[in-house]
Chain A
Amino acid sequence: MKKIIEKAIEKIFAFSGMVTTVTILLIIAFLFKEGAGLFNSPVVEKGYVLCVNANNPVEHISSADIKKIFNSVIEDWSEVTSGFDEKIELFYDEKILNNYGKDEWRAKIGEKIASTPGIIALVHDYEKSLPKNFEGVKILEENTILPKDFFLGFEWLPTSKPAPQFGVMPLILGTLLVSFVAILLATPLGIGVAIYLSELAQSRVRDILKPTIELLAGIPSVVYGFFGLVVLVPIIQKTFNLNVGETALTGSIILAIMALPTIITVAEDAMRSTPRAMREASLALGATHWQTIYKVVIPYAASGISAAVVLGIGRAIGETMVALMVTGNAARLPKLFEPVRTIPATIAAELGEAPGGGVHYQALFVLGCALFLITMAISITAELISKRQHNKGL
């Protein structure tokens, strides 16, 4: 009896042991499930179709071109399709819809489209009520959002009508710019502090510095964001004489401070693991303390230090609140002294307004998948690097 209970409890423990794995699998499953529909969604807003005159040779219009047409950037059909020289005339069916019943509405629209050669009409698509072979009317075939346009597109305008633009390039580049500048700032500082802690500081100094670093790591990110917003943003604005202080650089500085504890702790651990014999051998050969540090300790700890930096990058890429509060949130090609927008900030800012299950919602979940994969890759890289360190320890 006792044995059975012991076995049963061991099974419960084993089951709990699987909980992190199950969570990761659930996260993957749900992120992909919610985002999956994106690349099957039509380019045009849900519930609408685009119609043109039957004489118009055009078959497909890309999402970007639809946007340009409806913003009157493209004004002639010859820019979209060859051999059709006609001015584009925009038409929305709202007005007709309000004044007529459904059947009449259909006839009216057909009439209008058939009689206007250059027309492009955005028409409500009630349960596919527009017959395919309406005389003189051509319904444009529905394009779906292409992965290529999504990942390589340069325009992020998720609420643009009638064709929202989901190009994530500015967000990806913004995220990379902010995090890499942050790491560039944090790495020398962090490694310097790690050297000080592991090689130079007396135990009394360590007793002050160690808790300080723990406290820095414990401050909630939203407090960092608030501090950045109230203190750093005005400083940056004045120092560089900018219109707005919410720039990529502002975000990078705060993120650098936030990445410091990770870098310092991991790098210090790596340096401390340098065997005493190696240091003493170096000193015995007449090297100074400093020479020993940079010729023996740092090379020995190199993989641990790189792991620290990689982990710091991971921290910075995923950080949401700071990016949301101090980088200015402008989804355009990133420059250091201008507002940018990162992937996590985009998700945080837009998910609340995106209707559940809609295209915008799906696009944000695909962004989440991308973020998940990036940070996962970074974490695995760091693990591999620090494994090298351990092997060397043998």
Chain B
Amino acid sequence: MNRKLSQKIAFWIFRILGWAVVGILLWILGFIVYNGIGVISLEFIFDSPRNGMLEGGIFPAIVGTFCLIIGSMIVAFPLGVMSAIYTNEYVRDGKISRFIRMMTNNLGSIPSIVFGLFGMALFVRAMSWGDSIIAGSFTLGLLVLPLVIRTTEEALRMVPDALRTGSYALGASKLQTIRYVVLPTAFPNIVTGLILSVGRVSGETAPILFTVAAFFLPRLPSSVFDQVMALPYHLYVLSTSGSNLEAQRPMAYGTALVLITLVLIINFTASLIRKYFSKKHGAV
């Protein structure tokens, strides 16, 4: 009887813990939505900050974040996908692929602030690009590279070997097999990985502190060598520095809501695509 009781208590504790996690998420989201929803308006989204960032909107920060997303994906996506193709299609289980995987994991474990330091040393100073979109894009691109590689590899691994051998049997070369069989099959999952990386890039703050982010710059960038504002950094600025923190709060709530909505929409899209294609795949 005692064993039954202890089981009951233990299981109840785990159940409560499980739902506590949901509670934490709802608390954070609810808090930001509740306080931020009143701030959101067309003006907030499509106007520049004015009057010491107490009025106006956050349009330059939104544009800046999109510039960084596009720039970092141009850096990370081709490199990451090709790297994953190499480890998964060419050197599948050898020493080389194990080594590359280990290095990818290690790169993924480096704190983002270290990428910031590195980006500042290499792109901003050594290449003398200055604080610019291109410096920030390279820094963020290298930061998400492990994520792109890992998700692409998973996508490639899910392609059944029968497809590959079938293709070879028809006389296709390795490259043809990859191009016409493996990549099209894995495509939806690769895109999912790409979208997840976009989500990651759009929320990162530490790597852009010293490579691109502008404290206050109420105009849009005209070249890749311009500084930009970015949503996460703008939220940091609004919540910690400035002349009047209390008066800045509504703007901060609004920015947090826009940022979190952007990230959640991105992640949600990724999981939708994954679900849609896994169903379709299952039906075939």
Contact = CB atoms under 8 A, between A and B. Distances in A.
26 contacts: A18-B100, A24-B103, A24-B106, A195-B14, A211-B271, A216-B25, A220-B202, A221-B203, A221-B204, A223-B28, A223-B260, A226-B235, A260-B21, A290-B6, A290-B11, A291-B3, A318-B110, A318-B114, A319-B111, A320-B205, A347-B116, A351-B116, A368-B114, A372-B114, A375-B114, A383-B102
Nearest to A216: B25
A212 B22 contact: yes
B40 to A, nearest CB: 16
Contacts, number: 251
A270 to B, nearest CB: 16
Contact of A288 (B4, B78, B82, B113): B4
A197 to B, nearest CB: 7
- Majority secondary structure of chain A interface residues (helix, strand, loop or mixed): helix
A134 interface: no
Interface residues of A, number: 86
Contacts of A13: 82-83, 85-86, 89-90
A321 B237 CA distance: 11
A290 B6 CA distance: 8
Contact of B109 (A18, A229, A288, A375): A375
B232 A220 contact: yes
Contacts of B4: 288
Interface in B170-219: 173-175, 199, 202-206, 209-210
A16 B18 contact: no
A291 B4 CA distance: 10
A20 B240 contact: no
Contacts of A215: 25, 29, 264, 267
A257 B110 CA distance: 20
Contacts of B53: none
Given A6-B174, A220-B204, A220-B205, A192 B111 contact: no
A282 interface: no
Interface string B52-80: 00000000000000000000000000111
B73 to A, nearest CB: 15
Interface stretch (A29-37, A65-73, A146-154, A164-172): A29-37
Interface centre among B21, B28, B115 (most CB of A within 10 A): B21
